[in-house]
Amino acid sequence: MGKMGDRKKPRGYIGVLIVMVVLGAVAFVLVLTYGKRLGIGPVGAVSTKYADALKVAMHFFDVQKSGKLVNNTISWRGDSALEDGRDANLDLSKGMYDAGDHMKFGFPMAFTATMLSWAILEYADNMESLNQLRPAKDSLMWITDYLVNAHPKHNELYIQVGDPVADHECWDRPEDMTEKRPLTKVTTSKPGSDVVAETAAAMASASLVFASSNSKYSSLLLGHAEDLFSFANEHRGTYSKNIPGVQSYYNSTGYGYELL
């Protein structure tokens, strides 16, 4: 790759910018005028394109699911990672794989659950009108079921399943993987207020999502959220300082935001 500094700044870039802004404005007016006919719709309407994007996004969560699949509609996915957590006598088979790998990273998974919860809280009506509310809640629960099991004791949270180095060298399907699945946890001697408080946020926001449809599950989540928050608050520490191995994947610069 060449260095950025090697390239000359293009002279005509102001002109290009102006042309783009004008084209953008014209496109906006066209959408407002003819959008309905094209199925694009005015701002605020549930357009077909956004509807498709939402369905694809919900589909993505199904693709990422680990464990014994329920209602699986992805033809090329099957059960996987059924023994995850067994070393600690836990069932950590659910949850979602991080990306194209088979890692379960607790920090981004908790963030995902938090964001998905708030999306459902804000847009449940729109999701429902497109039949995407149930898939969204099922995917959320697929993560929170995992997080509940990852928090077996007051001051203990499992924050990772899998060995990222071994995993990233192995380009197999999760259904066929044979790699060891080591477990990583935060404790009072190796605390991680960032990952623990983010997990508390995931549990708390998900407890709001399930408050009306499943009050028992909602209180279970709230209990975990409160317990995790006190662990995060009373035993303060940055997980990537205490478990340096996580730095190459989901590093942390501190825990202030998560506690807040």
Ligand X SMILES: *[C@@H]1O[C@H](CO)[C@@H](O)[C@H](O)[C@H]1NC(C)=O
The residues binding ligand X (CB under 6 A) are 70-71, 138, 240, 247-248, 251, 253
Minimum distance from CB of 37 to ligand X (Å)? 35
Judged by CB, which is closer to ligand X: 96, or 229? 96
Judged by CB, which is closer to ligand X: 47, or 184? 184
Judged by CB, which is closer to ligand X: 48, or 247? 247
Minimum distance from CB of 244 to ligand X (Å)? 8
Angle between helix axes 133-149 and 48-63 (nearest 10 degrees) is 30
Q: d(Cα 103, Cα 39) in Å, to the nearest integer?
A: 40
Alpha carbon 164 to chain centroid, angstroms = 18
Judged by CB, which is closer to ligand X: 155, or 240? 240
Minimum distance from CB of 97 to ligand X (Å)? 16
Contacts of 106 (CB under 8 A, 6+ apart): 147, 150, 157, 158, 159, 160, 195, 199
Minimum distance from CB of 194 to ligand X (Å)? 11
Nearest alpha carbon to residue 155 among 236, 74, 76: 236
Q: d(Cα 114, Cα 106) in Å, to the nearest integer?
A: 12
Minimum distance from CB of 239 to ligand X (Å)? 11
- Evaluate whether 220 touches 77 at the Cβ level (below 8 Å): no
Judged by CB, which is closer to ligand X: 14, or 70? 70
